[in-house]
């Protein structure tokens, strides 16, 4: 039987803060495939995440197919807006949620992961736009650049820092995008559509550069709309999910597990020939050119 086999691989999933999003589903799928998986969490959410884990609030989601309970190898702090600790403002470093975490930057994360045994797979499940509810015409320069920094450049920074640490000719990176990268989605604002477009464009160039430098692969998943806790910040996620469902070739909502399985496949030896690709996990919605949840136009 042909199976996804990640035994002997160490994976890092950046952007896990609960059990309801794509990051958690990807981590779980990779553990099911045999990988040792660590996660990285935004500092303001880190304490709550650890408390929920300790109190068993995620136990139902952590059940594996063999009856065992999912275990993360380690949970790291990460604020992906900072390449190094020196980039973070002093007041932030000294704030209650950050001061006891050590180096929470991308460089700090890379150093900690290397010290803990290294990594073969890095998943970028990071997105943040402080003005996502604002139309682009009302988005400030600060909000726009912040969205691109946290949601797109952070991937570039992670490949820069983790690429040299991975075993030659075997590393795999994957990130998460959305159709707003290529089509207008009113309501998905604040520069987030621009950030996703940058993420997909960067994937192609990073695939070339990381492939030539180290033999690593870089891909991106364009997932359909999904009502995770994080996506609730968009404000219109419910209608987005419903519209995609009604107008997709397979009129169903996507599941986090479908995205998780795709990520595990893309990071496995089964996908050794795939790099620089954007893989759609959206029930075919991206293939549609006209809405079908209405009466057909009258024949001329």
With respect to residue 294, please indicate whether it lies within any of the assigned structural domains: no
Strand order in the sheet with 75-77: 75-77, 36-41, 10-14, 121-124, 172-177, 217-223, 278-281
Nearest to 38 by CA among 128, 127, 149, 112: 112
> Of 144, 178, 208, 280, which is the active-site residue?
178
Residue 68 lies in a domain: yes
Q: How many CB atoms lie within 10 A of CB 157?
A: 21
- Across the range 221-241, mean pLDDT stands at 80
Residue 240: its pLDDT value, please?
86
- Burial letters for 209-239: b for 16+ Cβ neighbours within 10 Å, e otherwise? bbbeebebbbbbbbbbbbebebbebbebbee
- pLDDT band of residue 232 (cuts 50, 70, 90) is low
Domain for residue 47, yes or no? yes
- The answer to whether 85 and 93 are in contact (CB under 8 A) is yes
Q: Give domain status of residue 81, yes or no.
A: yes
Query: Which of the following is catalytic: 76, 98, 144, 188?
Result: 188
d(CA 85, CA 104): 7
User: What pLDDT score does 239 carry?
Assistant: 86
CB-side exposure of 9: number of CA atoms within 13 Å?
25
Q: How far apart are the C-alpha atoms of 21 and 26, rounded to whole Å?
A: 9
For residue 4, being part of any structural domain is answered with no
With beta carbons less than 8 A apart as the criterion, state whether 232 and 18 touch.
no
285 is catalytic: no
pLDDT tens digits, 238-290: 888 999 999 999 999 999 999 999 999 999 999 999 999 999 999 999 999 88
**Phi (first) and psi of residue 89, to 5 degrees:** -60, 150
CATH for 73: 3.40.50.720
* 280 catalytic per annotation: no
- Determine the 3-state secondary structure of 220 from DSSP: strand
**pLDDT (average), residues 81-85:** 97
In a domain, 264, yes or no: yes
In a domain, 34, yes or no: yes
Q: How confident is the model over 15-44, as pLDDT tens digits? A: 999 999 999 999 999 999 999 999 999 999
Would you put residue 191 in left (φ > 0), alpha (ψ -120 to 50) or beta? left
Counting the structural domains of the chain, the total is 1
Among 57-61, 117-121, 177-181, 239-243, the range scoring the smallest mean pLDDT is 239-243
For residue 247, give its domain range.
10-287
**Burial grade of 256 (CB within 10 A; 0-12, 13-18, 19 or more):** buried
**Using CA atoms, how far apart are residues 130 and 45, in angstroms rounded to an integer?**
16
- What's the pLDDT at 227? 76
55-58: long-range contacts (C-beta < 8 A, 24 or more apart)? Answer: 58/18, 58/19
Within a domain: residue 230? yes
How would residue 298 be classed by pLDDT, with cut points 50, 70 and 90? low
pLDDT tens string 59-71: 999 999 999 999 9
Q: Pick the residue with more confidence: 296 or 7?
A: 7
Question: Residue 235: left (phi > 0), alpha (psi -120 to 50), or beta?
Answer: left
């Amino acid at each position: 039987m042909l199976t996804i086999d990640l035994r002997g691989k160490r994976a890092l999933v950046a952007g896990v803060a609960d059990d309801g999003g794509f990051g958690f589903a990807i981590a779980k799928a990779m553990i099911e495939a045999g990988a040792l998986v660590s996660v990285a969490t935004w500092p303001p959410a880190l304490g709550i995440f650890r408390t929920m884990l300790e109190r068993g609030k995620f136990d139902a989601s952590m059940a594996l197919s063999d009856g065992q309970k999912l275990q993360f190898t380690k949970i790291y702090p990460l604020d992906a807006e900072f390449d190094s600790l020196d980039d973070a403002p002093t007041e932030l470093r000294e704030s209650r949620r950050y001061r006891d975490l050590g180096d929470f930057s991308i460089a700090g994360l890379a150093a900690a992961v290397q010290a803990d045994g290294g990594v073969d797979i890095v998943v970028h499940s990071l997105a943040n736009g402080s003005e996502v509810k604002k139309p682009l015409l009302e988005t400030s320069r600060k909000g726009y650049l912040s969205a691109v920094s946290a949601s797109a450049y952070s991937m570039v920074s992670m490949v820069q820092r983790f690429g040299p640490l991975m075993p030659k000719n075997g590393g795999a990176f994957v990130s998460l995008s959305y159709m707003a990268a290529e089509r207008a989605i009113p309501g998905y604002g604040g520069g987030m559509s621009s950030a996703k477009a940058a993420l997909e464009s960067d994937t192609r160039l990073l695939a070339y550069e990381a492939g030539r430098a180290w033999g690593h692969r870089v891909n991106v998943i364009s997932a359909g709309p999904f009502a995770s806790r994080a996506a609730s910040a968009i404000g219109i996620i419910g209608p987005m999910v419903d519209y995609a469902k009604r107008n997709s070739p397979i009129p169903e909502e996507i599941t986090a597990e479908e995205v998780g399985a795709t990520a595990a496949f893309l990071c496995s030896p089964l996908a050794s020939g795939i790099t620089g690709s954007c893989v759609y996990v959206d029930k075919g919605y991206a293939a549609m050119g006209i809405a079908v949840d209405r009466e057909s136009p009258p024949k001329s």
